[in-house]
Amino acid sequence: MDKVSLKGKVIWFFGKSGSGKTTMADLLAEDLRKKGLSVERLDGDIVRQSLCKDLGFTKEDIFNNIRRVCLVADILSRNGITVIASFITPRKANRLYLIEKLGVKLTLVYLSASIKTCMIRDKKEIYTRALEGEITNLAGFDSPFEEPYYVMGFTIHIPTDASTVEHTYEALKGTLEWWDYEI
Return the CATH number at 105. 3.40.50.300
Averaged pLDDT for residues 159-178: 92
Does residue 94 lie in a domain region? yes
What are 44-66's pLDDT values in tens digits? Answer: 889 888 888 888 888 898 899 99
Residue 133's contacts (CB-CB under 8 Å, 6 or more residues apart) are none
Averaged pLDDT for residues 156-169: 93
Does residue 183 lie in a domain region? no
- Rounded (5°) CA angle 63-50-101: 35
Q: Check residue 4 and report its DSSP letter.
A: B
Number of domains within the chain: 1
What are 74-121's pLDDT values in tens digits? Answer: 999 999 999 999 999 999 999 999 999 999 899 999 999 999 999 999
Does residue 5 lie in a domain region? no
